[in-house]
Amino acid sequence: MGKVIKIGTRDSQLALWQAETVQNKLISLGYKTEIIPVKSTGDVVLDKPLYELGITGIFTKTLDVAMLNGSVDIAVHSMKDVPTLLPTGIIQSAVLERANTSDILVYKELDFLNSDGVIATGSLRRKAQWLHRYPSHKVVDLRGNVNLRLKKLEESSWNGAIFAKAGLERIKVLPEDYMELDWMVPAPAQGAVVVHTMENDNYTSEAVSKLNDGETDTCTQIERSFLRKLEGGCTAPIGALATINGGDISFEGVLFSLDGTQKISIKHKGIKVSEAITFAEKCANEILSNGGKDLMKEIKSELK
């Protein structure tokens, strides 16, 4: 076929796994590819919580620049890290079939659950939900790639740390001592890998579009529409999950205060696919009208 498609990715083991998965799929379709790793600010600055860095799309911005200046043709991301508004000229061309959406607790022992405990996570969403369920616990910041976070947990005095199960499964580092947090609502698009291309690059966009999984695309669109309407991002404790069963969609969305004391949630079943995007926005409006608007203002004020 035509040109060599240059695949841009972060340089962590998980990000490279994602890029290699895309690469293998493109190669199987007859395309020539090359992986080009880059390091994002979010991977370099590890001594501050993400919300303190004040950058929207901190894990994606460097790859956006690489695409815009022609260093790479496509960018592969964990979709939950991607801002809901893409830079001008960059488009979403494929979402791969979704993996497990669950959050898990990797622990040293579980005796602490009913007493005092210290849990680590770099996610405001996970922190808020954990404190909502375990208000007597302390939550500390944990940053870095999956392997680094596992190592920090092992070397610390913390009782446990929260991870996305999909990431640990993908690079085969899921430990024996973990607990699935089935009560925790995942980040919008958690477990999904997205591929971006340049809008004016028809060859690459057409190639990548062949990798798209329709069901995952629909569900992540719903979750990200909900997120966008709430004006959230990685700096707000927002969870959302859409699933398709027999052609109908079930949806759960939630907004928490930063300390986990306030929770505004919504659940619906039997949504038709054709109505899904507008319905997600209606769900977000319902959250906003039930106190979410004031809560979002409070969150933004606290994070300044």
Catalytically active residues, by annotation: 81
Q: Rounded to whole angstroms, how far apart are CA atoms 192 and 166?
A: 9
Going from the C-alpha of 126 to that of each of 103, 161, 162, 182, 300, the distances in angstroms are 8, 10, 7, 12, 17
Q: Rounded to whole angstroms, how far apart are CA atoms 115 and 137?
A: 8
Q: Rounded to whole angstroms, how far apart are CA atoms 151 and 161?
A: 11
Question: Do you know the residue count of the chain?
Answer: 304
Q: How far is CA 144 from the centre of its chain?
A: 15
Q: Which long-range contacts (CB under 8 A, 24 or more apart) does 133-140 make?
A: 133/183, 133/260, 135/260, 135/261, 137/112
